A and B are shown apart, each in its own frame.
Chain A
């Protein structure tokens, strides 16, 4: 039953048109604001500041490492390696599902699903899809070595530190 049947005097075509128009405007405004709120909530949930371990951290002076040393930093999940006068930082996070790999004589083994890597971090066995990350290592102004986990470098990239 249309409005004209209910109240023939008031319900002109102009009124019906206006009602339809207002209904659409209201519905549109509701959908728009709900959509925007959804997007804003997603942005809200994506943290701008994280409270985890910093991605850039210092690992001591070069003299602290004997030649051939491999020092594990458990909290950062990085191993710092010295070969002669060259330094490298290799990730200890398995590229399969994120477990921490253990350094072994032949390279690195993952305890979770059996991935094996050689000493350069290349995949030898197991489900790991790619090699372990190598991170950029640089010398800070005070002489300490600094690892930056945001910057990945090619496998086999060493930093030469002159004594």
Chain B
């Protein structure tokens, strides 16, 4: 028997892969079309490639300072803020399935969320507590950055982006406050928008545009809803992307100057 008669099972007579060969290699090709690196990296080079090749990790630097990874450096406050925001987006989208932003429906829908929707109380409370937590965490994150001097050059721009993110967080909190449409929400927005009208020059106009009229009513509820579920989250998400990207471009987390 000569060697050329031996046929590898998954090749055809010409030695090409053929149907069975293609089928055999299909899982591997599908895997590699999705993942650019091996499942478990074997060395440092592959490890850094795995980080760079993964969409969810690509914001990370391939190399970081060891001390910036220690928990006590940052207390994890930035990422915790992000996690609360992710929770708020997910629970918020689920709440949108049942909430209707009209004066006739809003309050009843809020009560239904608590009484008639499967896991509704949990969802609403998760959304509410995460919102409170996010305001606190973002504030603490700002404090940490300031007290460790991480707002100084070359990170001044990212510090300002962070300030805007903090203001957007407060605005999201404020716009969400009106949506239950109960007495607390209503009068809080009456008072809050009146405070806005004390702003010099543009104050009264600002209140009028914010409320869509002179008083807190159906227009105000609709406007706050659109701001809360569409405008502000989109702006916030975009700026979060910019914020994280700048952390990398500014050389990772702040650290003491090399001696």
Contacts and interface: CB of A to CB of B under 8 A. Distances in A.
Interface string B201-223: 00001001100111101110000
By size class, the interface of chain A is 10 to 19
Nearest to B219: A51
Given A50-B219, A51-B218, A99 B212 contact: no
Contacts of B190: 97-99
Given A46-B208, A47-B219, A51-B219, A99 B213 contact: no
A148 B194 CA distance: 22
A52 interface: yes
Given A46-B208, A51-B218, A52-B219, A97 B213 contact: no
Main secondary structure of the interface of A (DSSP, over half): loop
A97 B215 contact: no
A99 B215 CA distance: 11
By size class, the interface of chain B is 10 to 19
A97 B195 contact: yes
A42 B202 CA distance: 13
A152 to B, nearest CB: 13
B187 interface: yes
A45 interface: yes
A87 to B, nearest CB: 24
Contacts of B193: 98
B191 interface: yes
A99 B217 contact: no
A161 B247 CA distance: 73
Nearest to B218: A51
B213 A52 contact: yes
A112 interface: yes
A47 B191 contact: no
Interface in A47-63: 47, 50-53, 55
A51 B213 contact: yes
A112 B189 CA distance: 13
Interface in B145-165: none
Given A50-B214, A52-B215, A99 B209 contact: no
Interface string A36-76: 00000010011100111101000000000000000000000
B187 A99 contact: yes
Interface in B198-254: 205, 208-209, 212-215, 217-219
Nearest to B197: A98
A112 B194 CA distance: 13
22 contacts: A42-B209, A46-B205, A46-B208, A46-B209, A47-B209, A47-B213, A50-B212, A50-B214, A51-B219, A52-B213, A52-B215, A52-B219, A53-B215, A55-B214, A96-B194, A97-B190, A97-B194, A98-B190, A98-B191, A98-B194, A112-B187, A112-B191
Interface of B: 187, 190-191, 193-195, 205, 208-209, 212-215, 217-219
Given A46-B208, A97-B190, 7 more contacts: A47-B219, A50-B212, A51-B218, A52-B219, A96-B194, A98-B193, A99-B190
